[in-house]
Amino acid sequence: YGYSLAIAGGLIAGFGVNRNSLVFFLLGLFLYGSGQASNLLSRYAAMDLAAPDKRSQAMSYILFGSTFGAVFGPVLIKPAEQIGVDTFGWSLYTGPWIASAFFFVFALANVAVRLRPDPLEVSGGLVSQQGIGVVTPNLGAALRIISGIRNARVALASMVISQVTMVAVMTMTPVHLKIHGHEGVSPYVISLHIAGMYAFSPLVGKFADRHGKLQSISVGGVLLVAATVMAALAGDAATLLWPSLWLLGLGWSFGLIGGSSLLVESVPEGSRVTVQGAADLLMSFCGGMAGFSSGFIRKAFGFHMLSNLGTVLALVLVVIGIRRLTSTRIAKLRV
């Protein structure tokens, strides 16, 4: 359903661009977001059939696949624009939206044909194809499940804080670079950031499986602290923003993979689908609010203060991760 909505969203957004209709464009964007949500949820599908000690690594391969889309996607924008204008007579920016819908058709066909049977059903998360044994998705119930399990609370905090910190700083970095005359390096800084998010995810997954999810969360928090401190100290120059944005992406990867893996292993199997969806909903909502508010914060207080707020959030994640890790080790020693 997510990919189907994304296909419709891409077509509607393209129609809105071609007709200069803001209403259709915004409607298309809203539907198009279902594709990103489905991509994020696909990481859980990879975990359903993985052994418990390989779950983080299985998830990391899905994130690693995003590297290719992040690299080749921007390269296809210009050809899609040109084909749309020359072949179909569309306005300049219509082609990329139609092309993106076309690629989602491939994604939908791949899942429909090759992802059978459902990995969750094979793993026992679904008792039958009729849905017997599945907890009906309910946001309130899912959040109550999470709130009642300490590791699940830590996992959700890791996912949300990592997303909020990353989105807030990343969104305003190109604006900050442009204001200070470094617009030319902005695409390369963001590319390095994306590499940090996705390209190293297999190594992050191996780390989480080998050393533990709580260690991964703690490392993610430390990396986010380092990234935001560098961003705050960057000033008018772009020098510190190169390592800052890379660490920001890498810290996000540690926080997301560690948090998502911990969430899956913390909740009962029958509630996993509900909890996963609720956690991703909350993570995406908070990330969206961070992106929306980051512009106002930067304009009112400056990029350095926005980065400092990110540092505070990242420090909270470090404290949460280390505190839970310490209490877990103490509990094991007492047994």
pLDDT digits (tens, 9 = 90+) for 42-76: 888 778 777 888 889 988 988 888 888 877 787 78
Mean pLDDT of all residues in 169-185 = 93
Q: What is the mean pLDDT of residues 125-147?
A: 67
CATH code for 138-335? 1.20.1250.20
**Which among 301, 302, 203 has a CA at the least distance from the CA of 258?**
203
Q: Tokens 């120059």 belong to which residue?
A: 237
Examine the pLDDT at 131 and tell me if it is beyond 80. no
The answer to whether the CB of 320 falls within 8 A of the CB of 157 is yes
Residue 15 CA to residue 95 CA, distance in Å, equals 10
Extract the tokens encoding 236. 């008018």
CB 192 within 8 A of CB 316: no
Q: What mean pLDDT do residues 108-120 have?
A: 76
More confident residue, 187 or 310: 310
Q: How far apart are CA 266 and CA 271, in angstroms?
A: 10
Nearest to 15 by CA among 40, 32, 35, 1: 32
- Model confidence band, residue 39 (pLDDT cutoffs 50, 70, 90): confident
- Dihedral sign computed on CA atoms, order 218, 322, 152, 52: positive
For residue 154, name the pLDDT band (cuts at 50, 70, 90). Answer: very high
Inter-residue contact 32 to 16 (CB < 8 Å): no
Residue 111 has pLDDT above 80, yes or no: yes
Poorest-pLDDT segment among 45-59, 147-161, 213-227: 45-59
**Please, what is the average pLDDT of the chain?**
89
> What does the domain layout of the chain look like in residue ranges?
1-134, 138-335
Rounded to the nearest 10°, the torsion over CA 116, 119, 121, 122 is: 90
Residue 17 vs residue 36, higher pLDDT: 17
Q: What is the pLDDT of residue 128?
A: 43
